[in-house]
Structure formats: structure tokens, C-alpha cells
Amino acid sequence: MRVLSGVQPSGKLHIGNYFGMMKPAIELQEQGEAFLFIANYHALTSVHEGAALREMTRDVALDFLACGIDPERTAFYRQSDVPEVHELAWLLSVLTPMGLLERCHSFKDKTAKGLAASHGLFAYPVLMAADILAVNATVVPVGRDQKQHVEVTRDVATRFNNAFGEVFVMPEPSIRETVAVVPGIDGQKMSKSYHNTIEIFGSGKPLKKRIMKILTDSKELEDAKDPDMCNVFALYKLFADEAAQVELAERYRAGGMGYGHAKTELFETMERYFEPMRERRMRLEKDPDFVEDVLRAGAKRASEVAQDVLGRAREAVGLA
């Protein structure tokens, strides 16, 4: 099994990213051959400042290494360091029907939120297909809202194989049913688009101030409260063990505890959870050469596979 995951460097990673994508990607290192890329070409659809993109790409690399990505078990690389992907994207694009792209939810959703309707945004699924097919990925972990991208990849790969012969391995989406939607401070799904995130490596007063902004109902301190209807408790459950969850839930139902107390519990628990990762990140920041070496080594491993895939594709279409 070869697993592929990718993440855009389009802002500070938050706990929705961690539980929705980062932690599952780290766990998958134990289950098969893992490839993980920083999708900096994809990020160009929304990030139009070179210095900012470079900084965010570096931050993503630091975050993943600090959180547990093992470069011995995972090929961890920048998308821009594997140029074969972009030639492959063109070979796929000439067979991709306009109607298929017009039906993609991602383009509609992002333009509805005000993102400019560029060709890059419209053709985003083709580049994603190239990311997947270039490394012969057999499994692509995605949320339900991203399953369509893998379906598009399978459609385009099938069209190519039918036209030119069996070149591409057919990937399968892996839907993580157990991953809950992580609520943001306003109760909506945590997302950079909604400006409602809590950063993974926030700490001290800025982190506590952010947590104190989490939306709750208007019940008084002495009132009994329902933990299952509380955004604070939903976040707390992600970090605390079962015994701690039961204890805090009982305090909710008994009354006499305000939401400020619950938010303080969340703050302290989150600080403890990320403390070892935060310390690793600080060490990695002082060793930029190590981080760069990891990304280059990962790109080399990905390129070795992609060169073979692209070579077969070029041969098939008549370019070799």
C-alpha cells in the first residue's frame, strides 16, 4: 500500500488540520509506504506573495516534523521540487472534460467565498490528479468533502489508460469516518476561511485569549450545562483521556462551574498535549539545514517514482 497525503501552506496550521489530516498522516506511517507533500503550487491559487509563501512552506515543514512525521518512513517533500508532476498535469489536462471540472464542488465553494475564478483554481483537480498518479499512490486519505478529487483522478486516469494503454495505477479514497468535525471558536467547522481557528503551536497568553473567545450559550455559573452541546467540551475531548472527559462532563451537569472554568481546563490540557511537539519545533527552527535536507531527500524519492511514471506516459502519448 502506498499512501499519499498533501497539505497547502496557506496559513498557520490549526487543530482542525492536526486532527483532520496531520495526526492521521502520522499514524499511516505504520501501515504502508507513505508520501506527504507540501502543496505550494496549489497554494498559489490564494497566496500571491512570494515571501509569505516561502515562510508558510517552511512553517508547514517544521510543524509536521515537530508533530511526528518520520523522514525515514515518509517521503516528505515540496510539490515544487518534483517537476515531473507538472508535465504530467498537462498530459492529463488534454483528456480532462470541461464538464467534469465544472461539476467540482471545490471551485464553486471557493469562488462563492470570494476567491478569484482563475484557470488555476478551475484546473486544481487536474494538478491534484497528477500529484496522486505521479507517485503510483494506491490510497489517498481524504475527508468526505474531498472525496470528489479522488473520483476525478480515477476518471481521468481511466480515460488516459483507455486511450493510450495501462499507464496509471488506480487510487482509492480512504474516508476516515471516525474523525469528527473540529469546531472553531464560533462553532462552525474550524477553517482558515472562517477566521475561527486555534493554532497548533499557540501558547501562553495569546492561546488562552483565543480559547476564551470560544462561543458558548448564556447559562449562568450555577446552572447545569450539557457538555454534548458545548463547543468547549467538544474541543476538550480531542485532547483529554476518557477519565478526564467523564470528570469534566460531571462538573458540567452538576452546575456551579462556569464556561470560563471549562475554557481554562481546555487551555491547560492543550498546552500539555502540544508541549513536547512545541519543544521539538523550537529545536528544528535552529537547524534549517536539517529541514532542507529532509525535504530534498523526500523529493528525490518522489522524483524517482515520478520519472518512471512520466516516462511511461510520454512514451504512451508519443512524446518519447
Identify the CATH number of the domain in which residue 42 sits: 3.40.50.620
Check whether residue 51 and residue 155 sit in a common domain: yes
- Is the separation of the CB atoms in 173 and 140 below 8 Å? yes
Average pLDDT in the 75-103 region?
96
Residue 186 lies in a domain: no
Number of domains in the chain: 2
Identify the CATH number of the domain in which residue 273 sits: 1.10.240.10
What confidence tier does 143 reach under pLDDT thresholds 50, 70, 90?
confident
pTM here is: 0.91
Q: Which domain holds residue 260?
A: 192-281
Q: Which of 12, 192, 208, 219 is catalytic?
A: 192
Check whether residue 97 and residue 174 sit in a common domain: yes
Residue 99 lies in a domain: yes
Respond yes or no: is residue 189 known to be catalytic. yes
Q: Which of 110, 147, 208, 219 is catalytic?
A: 110
The strand order across the sheet containing 172-175 reads 74-78, 33-38, 2-7, 139-142, 172-175
Assess whether pLDDT exceeds 80 at residue 283: yes
Residue 151 lies in a domain: yes
Check whether residue 165 and residue 229 sit in a common domain: no
Respond yes or no: is residue 110 known to be catalytic. yes
Q: Where are the alpha helices (DSSP H) in the chain?
A: 15-17, 23-28, 40-43, 50-67, 84-93, 98-102, 105-112, 119-122, 124-134, 147-164, 204-211, 231-239, 242-254, 259-285, 288-317
Which of 64-78, 135-149, 196-210, 230-244 is least confident? 135-149
Q: What angle do CA 45, 51, 55 make, to 5 degrees?
A: 90
The CA distances from residue 287 to 221, 280, 282, in Å, are 48, 11, 9
Q: What is the pLDDT of residue 11?
A: 85
**Residue pLDDT, tens place only, 227-274:** 999 999 999 999 999 999 999 999 999 999 999 999 999 999 999 999
What confidence tier does 65 reach under pLDDT thresholds 50, 70, 90?
very high
**Residue pLDDT, tens place only, 156-198:** 999 999 999 999 999 998 876 555 679 999 999 898 878 999 9
Check whether residue 172 and residue 246 sit in a common domain: no
Check whether residue 61 and residue 199 sit in a common domain: no
Respond yes or no: is residue 300 known to be catalytic. no
Check whether residue 98 and residue 169 sit in a common domain: yes
What confidence tier does 314 reach under pLDDT thresholds 50, 70, 90?
very high
Q: Which of 23, 189, 208, 219 is catalytic?
A: 189
